[in-house]
Chain A
Amino acid sequence: MTKTNTEDYLRMYRQMVRIRTFEDHANQLYLSARMPGLTHMYSGQEAVAVGICEALTDDDKITSTHRGHGHCVAKGAEFSQMFCELLGKEEGYCRGKGGSMHIADQSHGNLGANAIVGGSMGIATGSALRAKLQGSDDVTVCFFGDGATAQGLLYEVMNMASLWKLPVIYACENNGYSEYTKTAEIAAGSITARAEAFGIEAHQVDGQDVLAVNGLTQKLVARARKGEGPFFLELMTYRYHGHHVGDINRGYYRDKAEEQEWKDNRDPITLFRAWLLDQGIASEDEIAAMTAEIEQDAAAAVAHAEAAPYPDTAEVDMHVYAG
């Protein structure tokens, strides 16, 4: 059932703005050389993570990607522990051991980001197999990019998921690019048809329309809980930044005009904001107040993370093996 009440709409909007704000701060940390390593921005794709995760409960699981901050926030994570992880601090979700590409937040069912493209496809499907074996009605969503559809693992696990009717939803975020290459140059034929070949119901959705994403996901999650899965979603979206924060001179593979077109006319936050105002669900002032509050939260979380201690050096060989 599509979310219908005011609170739900406002929470979806808030979560999208939280993701964008988180990423703006993460990008600033990189640009001002205050963050170790590189990170991949989710900006532009917010309606996908939020539309999907708002259809899930804390018991439902997700697996995420190298571009994972959006999934992480949408599944319920706190700014402070996320920024601490980005800076390698002890208070981070993974005690600083994982960093941007490996944040996992078990309390909200986030099984983790992954730095191996396609690396989480088996994990997500295995989580769904566990749900079925144990008679649990939770659903697992596997996020991955268009580029990841080239990995053979996807086809091995979709075959098993379909044979065994596993409660997994494959969510392919097609942002048009796989690193520095256009999707059309690395993906033959139709992506949804590949899932259909395994007898998996597949849908292509406008990934900039949070209501469309959420509405469809609500229905599919309910059906997956009843054993009618798996399902496949191809969400058409766009990443605003470079492949990673350091990919600044990208004119050789992507047009500035194309980027501007998406930002001006297809921005998921701008579009949803206009709808909220039009429907009288929120006023300009309310939205401005919400945005300011989120900005304050983020700034406070960054300041907290920068001041937070690194893990003790004794932690370096802790957690190699489970007790």
Chain B
Amino acid sequence: MREITLSQAVNEAIAEEMRRDETVFLLGEDVAEAGTPFKVLSGLVEEFGTTRVIDTPIAEPGFMGLAVGAAMTGARPIVDLMFGDFLFLVMDQLCNQAAKIHYMSGGKLKVPLVLRTNLGATRRSAAQHSQSLQALVAHVPGLKVALPSSAYEAKGLMKTAIRDNNPVVIFEDKLMYQDKAPVPEEEYLIPFGVANVRREGSDITLIATSSMVQVAEKAAEILAAEGIEAEVIDPRTLVPLDEATLVASVKKTSRAIVLDEGHQSYGVTSEIASRLNEQAFYHLDAPVLRMGAMDVPVPFSPALEDLTVPTPEGVAARARKLCSGDLIHAA
């Protein structure tokens, strides 16, 4: 199968959907000629013109609001938010407005929009350009949340997001834009709420999102060399969450570590760990562990920044302890 980058995959998904449905349009800062600072959207303005690929002023709350209004009245906007950190600027329009309108209108109004943004540290971009804020939006009922972990997921999830009748937030990993993966030429969609078992194993389950999937897979390799078989599962969407697949895996392995690049406290890892405790308690041989980013703003210095994100070695070390029974009474 051909291989393309995550960046090309996103570009293809959006182009295909824009060809299929003329109500789909894009808006955000430097999305047109510049094709975004990460060059993900290059070529779209040439094909679809500036009426469907719209450069906005630096006014995130404003253009987020425009997208909500356009979505309520018959369009399918894709909002490009240059950095995930800027979610804090658009929270009212996204969470008080977009997320609640369908419910508040008794199911009459719909807000079919996609907010595409990113996550991930270790780019030496410091505290305001490095956050992974998926927990924040996953907390708000009414928003769906997708976290592609490769080019394949990026394309399939984006197409599903664009066709969904709800506001969907998609986080791409900035460090993965140039990573290639096999992506079919033929059209495909990845349904929301279906986890992907990336590696089978019988000793421990590593549940990992987005940037942490590669970390979990590398940890699994380290562990395999020592005779510990780790199962690696990528939930792909946080909302909806494929609880059944995660629970079934943990019932089989009886141990789990949940990995996500958001801050550990009150985060994605906490939520998934609680669900496993609630639904697989009698099958567990050890507490479910959480591994997220350290609870600190992301520091600039490389000497500090690299300490804040889970590493394959760190994950393997904790998995080893779990499997040896060392962590029965918590971490």
Contacts and interface: CB of A to CB of B under 8 A. Distances in A.
Contacts of A316: 294, 296, 299, 304, 307-308
A285 B32 CA distance: 50
Interface in B63-99: 85-86, 89
A119 to B, nearest CB: 8
Contacts of A185: 55
Nearest to B36: A180
Contact of A317 (B29, B61, B294): B294
A192 interface: no
A108 interface: no
Contacts of B275: none
Contact of A310 (B57, B86, B89, B302): B302
B58 A102 contact: no
B125 interface: yes
A88 B58 contact: no
Contacts of A150: 57-59, 62
Nearest to A101: B126
Interface in B259-315: 294-297, 299-304, 307-308
Contacts of B55: 181, 185-186
A301 B300 CA distance: 20
A36 B85 CA distance: 20
Interface stretch (A10-18, A110-118, A211-219, A267-275): A110-118
B59 A88 contact: no
Contacts of A101: 125-126, 128-129
A47 B159 CA distance: 50
A111 to B, nearest CB: 15
B53 to A, nearest CB: 13
Most A Cβ at <10 Å: residue of B89, B294, B296, B304: B304
List the 10 closest pairs (A to B, CB-CB), nearest first.
A99-B300, A88-B301, A37-B124, A150-B57, A96-B301, A310-B303, A36-B124, A180-B34, A115-B128, A186-B57
A148 B58 contact: yes
Contact of A152 (B61, B124, B294, B299): B61
B3 interface: no
Contact of B304 (A178, A253, A315): A315
Contacts of A322: none
Nearest to B29: A179
Contacts of B58: 117-118, 147-148, 150-151, 178, 186
B172 interface: no
A178 B57 contact: yes
A316 B297 CA distance: 9
Given A88-B303, A150-B57, A37 B34 contact: no
12 contacts: A88-B300, A88-B301, A97-B297, A101-B126, A115-B126, A151-B59, A152-B61, A179-B37, A186-B56, A186-B58, A187-B57, A317-B296
Contacts of A96: 299-301, 303-304
Given A37-B124, A180-B30, A186-B55, A152 B62 contact: yes
Contacts of B304: 88, 96-97, 310-311, 313, 315-316
A66 to B, nearest CB: 9
A317 B264 CA distance: 14
B127 interface: yes
B307 A102 contact: no
B321 interface: no
A203 B303 CA distance: 45
A188 B210 CA distance: 39
B123 interface: yes
Q: For chain A, which range describes its interface: under 10, 10 to 19, 20 to 34, or 35 or more residues? A: 35 or more
Interface in A264-323: 310-311, 313, 315-317, 320
Contacts of A317: 294-296
B267 to A, nearest CB: 16
B61 to A, nearest CB: 6
User: Which of B29, B56, B294, B303 has the most A CB atoms < 10 Å from its CB?
Assistant: B303
Interface string B27-47: 001100110010000000000
Interface string A16-42: 000000000000000000001110000
A267 B124 CA distance: 32
Contact of B124 (A99, A186, A315): A99
Nearest to A117: B58
Nearest to B57: A150
A98 B300 contact: yes
Contacts of A187: 57
Nearest to A89: B301
Contacts of A99: 124, 126, 300-301
A268 to B, nearest CB: 26
Given A99-B126, A179-B30, 7 more contacts: A37-B125, A38-B125, A178-B57, A179-B37, A186-B56, A252-B34, A320-B295
The residue among B34, B299, B308 with the most chain A CB atoms within 10 A of its own CB is: B299
A311 B300 CA distance: 11
Interface in B109-128: 123-128
A102 B127 contact: yes
* A38, A100, A148, A316 pick with most chain B CB within 10 angstroms: A316
Contacts of A186: 55-58
B295 A313 contact: no
A180 B33 contact: yes
A313 B307 CA distance: 8
Q: Which among A36, A89, A101, A185 has the greatest number of chain B C-beta atoms within 10 A?
A: A36
Interface in A166-201: 178-181, 185-187
Given A96-B299, A313-B304, A316-B299, A37 B123 contact: yes
A253 B33 contact: yes
